[in-house]
Amino acid sequence: EPEVTQTPSHQVTQMGQEVILRCVPISNHLYFYWYRQILGQKVEFLVSFYNNEISEKSEIFDDQFSVERPDGSNFTLKIRSTKLEDSAMYFCARADIGETQYFGPGTRLLVL
Amino acid sequence: GQSLEQPSEVTAVEGAIVQINCTYQTSGFYGLSWYQQHDGGAPTFLSYNGLDGLEETGRFSSFLSRSDSYGYLLLQELQMKDSASYFCAVVRNAGNMLTFGGGTRLMVKP
């Protein structure tokens, strides 16, 4: 059973379009994270979210990216104007304590 | 900068023991985690070492030496289903982020 669910499982979009990726935790957790993995490469940290605030972000997480938890449940990652190089698998992760992070099944994003 | 080094590929036979090493150089080190990832799947948490020493979870064990900036994952009694990529990941900044290594592709042969 996944620790979190993610929707959609696949998304195809045109360059320059906005996309919203969603993460739904199974139960209440304190810590949420977004990671991405370009095909064949390692997993890269994007952002961590604790107590409804960004606690850490990487250099990848520029102004094109934003996160929020709009309804106190879903955790979303928005990419405002997608680029070809945003094509990747995006993973949401959750943790009760930061050391042990559990990943969702991912959303495969393809930017054309 | 941050760097984690692990072998790119390892091959072993069913029933054998394999050790995957990981050396790291990073700021804000908090601990070392290991994840398994099958092709097309999500990373699955295997183990975490916050202190020096060995942690054992079934067939898998993980070791950390903070003074040597080194850790390893030990897989015993290898099974075909263990064929996957294994990533070491440094837990940084009190758990606020994971920095992953490049991954080790393990192939288990009959």
Mean pLDDT by 10 residues, chain A (112 residues): 83 97 79 93 92 88 91 88 96 82 94 96
Beta strands in chain B (DSSP E): 3-5, 9-13, 18-25, 29-37, 44-49, 53-57, 60-65, 70-75, 84-92, 97-100, 104-109
CA distance B54 to B65: 9
Confidence of residue B19 (pLDDT cuts 50, 70, 90): very high
Whether residue A78 contacts residue A18, with contact meaning beta carbons closer than 8 Å, is answered with: yes
Query: How far apart are the C-alpha atoms of B8 and A100, rounded to whole Å?
Result: 24
Q: How far is residue B85's CA from residue B104's CA, in Å, rounded to a whole number? A: 5
CA–CA min distance B1, chain A (Å): 12
pLDDT of residue A98: 62
The pLDDT value given to residue A103 = 93
Residue-wise pLDDT for A88-105, tens only, equals: 999 999 887 767 888 999
pLDDT at B48 over 70: yes
pLDDT band at B99 (very low <50, low <70, confident <90, very high): very high
Q: What is the pLDDT of residue A64?
A: 95
Cα angle A84, A86, A91 (rounded to 5 degrees) comes to 150
Nearest CB to B50: which of A33, A41, A99? A99
Look at residue B79 in the predicted model and tell me its pLDDT: 97
- In the prediction, which pLDDT does A6 show? 95
- Report the pLDDT value the prediction gives residue A27, as an integer from 0 to 100: 67
Mean pLDDT of B15-31: 94
Question: What does the pLDDT read at residue B28?
Answer: 86
B26 against B63, higher pLDDT:
B63
- Chain B contact for A24, CB < 8 A? no
Question: CB-CB: which of A56, A98, A104 is closest to B42?
Answer: A104
Distances (CA, A) of B1 to A99, B37, B58: 21, 25, 35
Q: Do the Cβ atoms of A99 and B30 come within 8 Å?
A: yes
Please report the DSSP string for B3-17 in residue order.
EEE--SEEEEETT--
Measured in angstroms, the CA of B105 and the nearest CA of chain A are apart by: 11
pLDDT attached to residue B84: 97
